[in-house]
Amino acid sequence: MASHGIEIKGLYKIFGPRGRDHVEAVKNGLSKAELNERYGHVLGLKDINISMPAGGITVVMGLSGSGKSTLIRHINRLIEPTYGELIYDGVNICGMNERALREFRRHKTAMVFQKFALLPHRTVIENTVYGLDIQGISRSESTKKAKYWIERVGLSGFENHYPNQLSGGMQQRVGLARALTNDADILLMDEAYSALDPLIRVDMQSVLLDLQAELKKTVVFITHDLDEALRLGDKIAILRDGQVVQQGTGQEIVLSPADDYITAFVKEVNRSRVIQAKTVMKPFDGQAEGVRIGATTTLESAAKTMTENGQTKATITDDAGTPIGTLDLQTMIAAMVTPAGSETSKMAAE
Amino acid sequence: MAICEYLPRALCRFPAISDSYIRQARQVIDEGFKGIVREYGSIIDIVVRPLQLFLNYLERLFTTSPWTVVLIVMLLVVYFGSRSIRITIGTAIGMVLIGVVGLWEDTMTTLAIVTVSTLIAIIIGLPIGILMARSDRIQGVINPILDVMQTMPSFVYLIPVVVIFGIGKVPGLIAVVIYAVPPMIRLTNLGIRLVDKEVLEAADAFGSSPGQKLWNVQMPLALPTIMAGINQTIMMSLAMVVVASMVGVGGLGRNTLQAINNQFFTFGFLNGFALVAIAIIFDRTSQAFGKRLQRHSEVVHG
Ligand SMILES: Nc1ncnc2c1ncn2[C@@H]1O[C@H](COP(=O)(O)OP(=O)(O)OP(=O)(O)O)[C@@H](O)[C@H]1O
Ligand SMILES: [Mg+2]
């Protein structure tokens, strides 16, 4: 299990030959458009502060061009920051010298790429051992590990195929196996699933969640799909034009979107998969009725349990099993169909 | 010309520097050059010596071994390089015909010098190409040099080579190498620069050192392009071997030169055909080999 989270503090990235010189101006409110127009520099990231918890999945979300790839590439410093700090295990990644950085990349991080970025001249198994090759680990040992992960991602039998003999979904599994074989604390996934069709995508999400339940790595996952973000993310940060507009759990974002941009994002989302039982339950009144349901169960699975048991009421219990609230179908349905909180209050005011 | 009567002289006939000045300048430059050559004669010898030994060794090996052995080895090399029965049979027919018309030994001499010059061109060209790919500055310096080298008529190479190294096999060899090395350099550089940025980024992300990146990613992926460079280098060596016969390189080239001087029509053409036959053998084999290196990209998933 990963024991260190990643702290991003006041990170700025300005693309261009003299990016450093413009940090002050940007801090003082120079906008992305102005910076581009006046100085020909591109504002990539502005004042990013995110704390990515150890052993959890942090999802970074945003539209195309919002700076997601730029952000994730700072974590293993494929992109040099203009200003700010990234702390891992008490060390500022931005301050590492070449040697330290190489060691950090070899042993602490592994990355899965949007366009797979497999080595075309190497077979599946040779691709999978790449990270260990680089670390100087013998093939006999690395092959054993690689075989294990190839099997885990469901590619047994394809060890000796070349990447272009595989479908996109299979190639991405190779990418995942390659990253997992590295056995690094940090797993960086840049739109790893965006190129996959919906069914394979859900399948790969499950693969990741299953693996994560057992490995507990610090995962940074990039996506522009809110459903994917909500399914995977312990924590979600939403980027817009290089700035974080909101961060929090999926539920927090769906229930109280920070602005119109995010409201637009969350409108189409399946709320029953996000909202947890404890969020909408009534306080426990001493009467345990119906089925017992865990506090963090989503409304969707709660509804499923209740329907299967032919009940319309449920008792909500905490981790220890003590009842802490009650829930009925009526409340649940209301919570699922009600749009974001702000609009309800607006209607109430009228 | 009539117009000239109405024009000042300088506008009509080009005002060249006077002949005596040019003669003097030429003398000074030539003397200086020869002086340098004399001065550094021992160093030049040190450079030339191993080349000479290697070339002589290979030439003797090729010409004194029984033709059956040479042919069998050659066919094995062609077959394992190309994995093509057709090319192998073609090679056999070509070589037998060459032998039948009595050009076997000369062909072996030419083969030896082409082999040596190609090897040297690879040894020189590969590292220069790699350096060029690593730095835009170096590329900026070397590219114009290569441009000049490739546009200069091949005869011109012979002049400095003869002045510095004299007449003989090795000077000829050096001229051939200089003539044949540019495509090797260019295509090595190009091959490395064309490697997919995403794949390089992945290599970086896993913590590859520059050396690991070069050997694990850049070189293997550039190999097909580099093979094309080797192919071109071989073809250019073959062409230059004929020209280099003017400074004393033996083999088919010298025969051709003799044929030109003496108007031996049939003899000249036979030698020409022998050169073409070798060229085709080299070309087909190295291309087939290059294709096989790209095996991984053959089966493209739709
Ligand atoms: N090397 C660069 N030079 C200049 N500008 C850049 C560079 N790389 C990225 N940018 C700019 O930074 C911004 C963010 O780019 P980034 O690739 O991080 O977006 P993204 O959120 O990953 O988008 P997508 O979903 O399309 O991958 C864009 O405006 C882009 O033009
Ligand atoms: Mg991106």
Residue B224, Cβ density class (10 Å: 0-12 exposed, 13-18 middle, ≥19 buried): middle
Q: By percentage, how much of chain B surpasses pLDDT 90? A: 65
Q: For atom 10 of ligand 1, which residue has the closest CA?
A: A44
Residue A200 has pLDDT above 90, yes or no: no
Residue A112 has pLDDT above 80, yes or no: yes
A97: left (phi over 0), alpha (psi -120 to 50) or beta: beta
**Cα–Cα distance measured from residue B226 to residue A146, given in angstroms and rounded to the nearest whole number:** 31
Confirm or reject: Cβ of A44 under 6 Å from ligand 1. yes
pLDDT band at A344 (very low <50, low <70, confident <90, very high): very low
Which residue from B201, B296, B299 is facing A78, i.e. has the nearest CB?
Answer: B201
Q: What type of residue sits at position A136?
A: G
Confidence (pLDDT) at B299: 54
Within an 8 Å CB–CB cutoff, is residue A181 touching chain B? Answer: no
pLDDT band at B207 (very low <50, low <70, confident <90, very high): very high
Contact at CB, A120 and B204, closer than 8 angstroms: no
C-alpha closest to that of B292 among B72, B121, B87, B71: B87
Within an 8 Å CB–CB cutoff, is residue A130 touching chain B? Answer: yes
SS3 of B100-141: HCCCHHHHHHHHHHHHHHHHHHHHHHHHHHHHHHHCHHHHHH
Q: Which of B201, B206, B295, B297 to mutate to test the interface with A (most CBs of A within 10 A)?
A: B206
Contact at CB, B207 and A78, closer than 8 angstroms: no
Q: How far is A72 from chain B (nearest CA, A)?
A: 11
Q: For atom 22 of ligand 1, which residue has the closest CA?
A: A69
From A218-222, B188-192, B254-258, the region with the lowest mean pLDDT: B254-258
Q: pTM to 2 decimals?
A: 0.83
**Cα–Cα distance measured from residue A193 to residue A173, given in angstroms and rounded to the nearest whole number:** 10
Residues near A219 by beta carbon (within 8 Å), at least 6 away in sequence: A56, A57, A58, A186, A187, A188, A189, A208, A212
CATH hierarchy code of domain A6-266:
3.40.50.300
Residue A343 has pLDDT above 50, yes or no: no
For the record, the structure tokens of A204 come out as 């790969």
Task: Compute the average pLDDT of residues B43-67.
Answer: 90
Question: On the CB side of A350, how many CA atoms lie within 13 Å of its CA?
Answer: 5
Within an 8 Å CB–CB cutoff, is residue B197 touching chain A? Answer: no
Domain with CATH 3.40.50.300 in chain A: 6-266
Confidence (pLDDT) at A271: 85
Which residue carries 């219990």 as its tokens? A317
- pLDDT, tens digit (0-9, with 9 covering 90-100), for B15-30: 888 888 889 998 998 8
Hey, which residues 47-76 in chain A have their CB within 8 Å of chain B?
76
Domain boundaries, chain B: 48-301
SS3 of A261-277: HHHHHHCCCCHHHCCEH
For ligand 2, the distance from its centroid to the CA atom of residue A119, given in whole angstroms, is: 20
Q: For atom 28 of ligand 1, which residue has the closest CA?
A: A65
Confidence (pLDDT) at A330: 86
In contact, B179 and B154? CB cutoff 8 Å: yes
- Among chain A residues, CA nearest to B213: A134
In contact, A295 and A317? CB cutoff 8 Å: yes
Q: How far is A90 from chain B (nearest CA, A)?
A: 20
Strands A218-223 and A186-189: parallel
Please spell the DSSP secondary structure of chain B, one letter per residue: --GGGGS-HHHHS--PPPHHHHHHHHHHHHHHHHHHHHHTHHHHHHHHHHHHHHHHHHHHHHHHS-HHHHHHHHHHHHHHHH--HHHHHHHHHHHHHHHHTT-HHHHHHHHHHHHHHHHHHHHHHHHHHHHHHH-HHHHHHHHHHHHHHHHS-HHHHHHHHHHHH-SSHHHHHHHHHHHHHHHHHHHHHHHHHTS-HHHHHHHHHTT--HHHHIIIIIHHHHHHHHHHHHHHHHHHHHHHHHHHGGGT--THHHHHHHHHHHT-HHHHHHHHHHHHHHHHHHHHHHHHHHHHHTGGGTS---
Superfamily of domain B48-301 in CATH is MetI-like (1.10.3720.10)
Confirm or reject: Cβ of A70 under 6 Å from ligand 1. yes
> What b/e readout covers A30-51, taking b as 16+ CB neighbours within 10 angstroms?
bebeebeeebebbbbbbebebe
Confirm or reject: Cβ of A157 under 6 Å from ligand 1. no
C-alpha closest to that of A160 among A187, A204, A128, A130: A128
Confidence (pLDDT) at A2: 65
Contact at CB, A106 and B204, closer than 8 angstroms: no
**Cα–Cα distance measured from residue B2 to residue B13, given in angstroms and rounded to the nearest whole number:** 13
Q: Which of A195-204, B24-33, B184-193 has the highest mean pLDDT?
A: B184-193
Within an 8 Å CB–CB cutoff, is residue B36 touching chain A? Answer: no
| H helix or E strand, kind and range, residue A334 | helix A329-337
Residue A319 has pLDDT above 90, yes or no: no
For the record, the structure tokens of A69 come out as 């790839």
- Among chain B residues, CA nearest to A184: B206
Q: Does B12 or A46 have the greater pLDDT score? A: A46
Q: Which ligand is nearest to the CA of A243?
A: 1
Q: In what order do the strands lie in the sheet with A42-52?
A: A42-52, A6-15, A83-88, A91-92
Confidence (pLDDT) at A280: 86
Residue B302 has pLDDT above 60, yes or no: no
Q: For atom 11 of ligand 1, which residue has the closest CA?
A: A44
Q: How far is A89 from chain B (nearest CA, A)?
A: 19
- pLDDT, tens digit (0-9, with 9 covering 90-100), for A116-145: 999 999 999 999 999 999 999 999 999 999
- pLDDT, tens digit (0-9, with 9 covering 90-100), for A185-198: 999 999 989 888 88
- Among chain B residues, CA nearest to A119: B199
**Cα–Cα distance measured from residue B55 to residue B60, given in angstroms and rounded to the nearest whole number:** 8
Which residue from B198, B204, B296 is facing A121, i.e. has the nearest CB?
Answer: B296
| Closest ligand 1 atom to A13 CA | 12
Handedness of CA B75, B81, B87, B91 (dihedral sign): negative
Within an 8 Å CB–CB cutoff, is residue A99 touching chain B? Answer: no
Q: How far is B189 from chain A (nearest CA, A)?
A: 19
Confidence (pLDDT) at B301: 45
Q: Does A3 or A60 have the greater pLDDT score? A: A60
Q: What type of residue sits at position B201?
A: E
Residue B296 has pLDDT above 80, yes or no: no
Q: Which of A22, A66, A238 to mutate for ligand 1's pocket (most ligand atoms within 8 Å of CB)?
A: A66
Task: Compute the average pLDDT of residues B242-264.
Answer: 90
Q: By percentage, how much of chain A surpasses pLDDT 70? A: 96
- pLDDT, tens digit (0-9, with 9 covering 90-100), for A280-299: 888 888 888 888 888 888 88
Contact at CB, A102 and B209, closer than 8 angstroms: yes
Contact at CB, A120 and B201, closer than 8 angstroms: no
Task: Please state the φ and ψ torsions of residue B207, each to the nearest 5 degrees.
Answer: 85, 30
CATH classification for the domain delimited by A271-349, as one of 3.30.420.140, 3.20.20.100, 3.40.50.300, 3.90.1280.20: 3.90.1280.20
Q: How far is B226 from chain A (nearest CA, A)?
A: 15
Q: Which of A11, A12, A15 to mutate for ligand 1's pocket (most ligand atoms within 8 Å of CB)?
A: A15
For ligand 1, the distance from its centroid to the CA atom of residue A42, given in whole angstroms, is: 9
Domain with CATH 3.90.1280.20 in chain A: 271-349
Which residue from A162, A164, A182 is facing B206, i.e. has the nearest CB?
Answer: A182
